[in-house]
């Protein structure tokens, strides 16, 4: 694509580099746009600026040592990726996790999902020009971070899940704080809807913008809210339930058209469903151990293993090949943002430059997760 600089440029067409340093690309993403006036003719997302070689790093690290890397891939839903990796290794070694640990993991993962969606909500509306909702959603998100900080000791890169359980037990204060947060967020929906969802400017900038229909989403391997907004009720938590999700009652919100507004509504509804999951899990939280006995040296038997979880952005899978030593032979992380980003090449042509911001924001990519 970079060679196209050499192509003769007509009077009307010109190239625009959006990023890598652009406030609304949420990281170091470079969008190479070929423009015809104000319309996009071609779009090419150029990635790799944030490549740190996590997958290669895994090969020289012990299974335990790779744990902090997982939350640094997707820093907004770090706990869910922790959960995915830990569960993958538990599947390899055959560790039975105590039920209390599973419930704590689910509660924390759902809190993390809400915090990720709240951050997306704030930044997306800020991309579209509304600064106030950003402050309100960060106020709510701060509550979640405080709750998770109290239990895991960290605000963003948690490393909270451990092989066979979790790092630290939760106390009564955690439970009451979480219940208070659930009530608090429920009381905030009206404000959010009045401020954003019903706002005429927001609707005009999101409705019928960036339509990713069912076929397109499935062709590019999109998962998460993008796929669900296109009307496909696919969620790893329902499709292949892991942890204790099969015991909990929740729904998968879906959209119909697959435009930016649908994705927005799906994410808001997902937060409501997450609140439901948290409430049920808190009610059922059993007593008991929080960590199973784990061999001092984790040495999975030879073979390849795959485990998928549903992160805030879609299906996250860890594919690990073991050669019987305490180092992974190969680790491949399937991340949702990668597929979700590639769909831009199909969606952006024919839209306005101003809509690019709206489409990119509504897809909710985390660039370090794409680059890994």
Partner 1 sequence: MIKDIVEGGWSLIAGMWVTIRRIYRPVVTVQYPRKYLEMSPAYRGHIEFAQFPETGSHNCVACGTCMRFCPTNVIKVQGEKTHTHSEKRASLYFIDFSHCSLCGLCVANCPTQTLKFSGEYDLAHYSRWDGVVDLIQRLEESA
**Complex with partner 1: residue 23 or 153, whichever CB lies closer:** 153
CB of 202 to partner 1, least distance (A): 9
* Least spacing, CB of residue 61 vs partner 1, in Å: 6
Interface positions, 164-203, toward partner 1 (CB under 8 A): 167-168, 191, 194-196, 198-201
Identity of the residue, 20 or 68, whose beta carbon is nearer to partner 1 in the bound complex: 68
Most distant CA pair in the chain, distance: 72
Selected binder of partner 1 within 12, 17, 21, 65 (CB under 8 A): 65
The number of beta carbons lying within 10 Å of the beta carbon of residue 293 is 9
DSSP letters for 133-160: HHHHHHHHHHHHHHHHHHHHS-SS----
Of 132 and 325, nearer to partner 1 (C-beta) is: 132
- Between the alpha carbon of residue 154 and those of residues 43, 167, 301, the distances in Å are 38, 12, 33
Are 39 and 49 in contact by the 8 Å Cβ rule? The answer is: no
Residue 325 as a binder of partner 1 (CB under 8 A): the answer is no
Residue 53 in contact with partner 1, rule: CB under 8 A: no
Cβ closest to partner 1, residue 41 vs residue 167: 167
Q: Residues 150, 174: contact at Cβ < 8 Å?
A: yes
Omega within 30 of 0 (cis) for the link into 20:
yes
Stretch that binds partner 1, among 4-12, 112-120, 141-149, 311-319 (CB under 8 A): 141-149
291: DSSP letter: B
In the complex with partner 1, which residue's Cβ is closer, 66 or 245?
A: 66
Element (H, E) at 306: strand 303-310
Interface with partner 1 in residues 107-136 (CB under 8 A): 132, 136
Q: At 303, is the secondary structure helix, strand, or coil?
A: strand
Work out whether 59 is an interface residue with partner 1 (CB under 8 A).
Answer: no
Please, which residue, 2 or 200, has the CB nearer to partner 1?
200
Sign of the torsion formed by the C-alpha atoms of 129, 133, 138 and 139 = positive
Q: How many residues bind partner 1 (CB under 8 A)?
A: 33
Q: Which residues bind partner 1 (CB under 8 A)?
A: 61-62, 64-69, 72, 132, 136, 139, 142, 146, 149-154, 157, 159, 162, 167-168, 191, 194-196, 198-201
């Amino acid at each position: 694509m970079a060679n196209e600089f050499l192509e003769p440029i007509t009077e009307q067409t010109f190239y625009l580099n959006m990023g890598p340093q652009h406030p609304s690309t949420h990281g170091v993403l470079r969008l190479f746009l070929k423009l015809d006036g104000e319309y996009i003719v071609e779009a090419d997302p150029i990635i790799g600026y944030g490549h740190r070689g996590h997958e290669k790093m895994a090969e020289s690290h012990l299974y335990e040592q790779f744990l902090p890397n997982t939350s640094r891939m997707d820093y907004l839903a770090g706990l869910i990726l922790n959960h995915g990796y830990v569960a993958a290794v538990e599947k390899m070694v055959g560790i039975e996790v105590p039920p209390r640990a599973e419930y704590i993991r689910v509660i924390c993962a759902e809190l993390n999902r809400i915090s990720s969606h709240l951050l997306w909500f704030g930044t997306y509306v800020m991309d579209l020009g509304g600064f106030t909702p950003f402050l309100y959603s960060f106020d709510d998100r701060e509550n979640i971070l405080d709750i998770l900080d109290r239990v895991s000791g960290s605000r963003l890169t948690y490393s909270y899940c451990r092989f066979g359980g979790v790092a630290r037990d939760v106390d009564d204060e955690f439970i009451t704080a979480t219940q208070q947060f659930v009530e608090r967020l429920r009381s905030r929906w009206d404000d959010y809807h009045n401020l954003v969802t019903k706002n005429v400017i927001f609707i005009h900038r999101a409705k019928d913008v960036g339509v990713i229909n069912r076929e397109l989403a499935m062709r590019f391997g999109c998962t998460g809210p993008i796929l669900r907004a296109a009307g496909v009720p696919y969620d790893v938590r329902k499709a292949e339930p892991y942890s204790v999700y099969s015991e909990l009652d929740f729904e998968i919100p879906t959209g119909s058209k697959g435009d930016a507004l649908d994705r927005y509504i799906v994410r808001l509804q997902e937060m409501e469903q997450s609140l439901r999951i948290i409430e049920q899990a808190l009610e059922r939280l059993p007593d008991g151990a929080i960590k199973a006995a784990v061999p001092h040296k984790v040495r999975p038997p030879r073979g390849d293993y795959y485990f998928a979880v549903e992160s805030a952005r879609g299906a996250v899978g860890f594919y690990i090949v073991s050669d019987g030593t305490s180092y992974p032979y190969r680790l491949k992380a399937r991340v949702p943002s990668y597929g979700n980003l590639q769909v831009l090449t199909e969606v952006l042509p024919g839209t306005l430059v101003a809509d690019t911001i709206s489409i990119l924001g509504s897809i909710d990519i985390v660039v370090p997760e794409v680059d890994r």
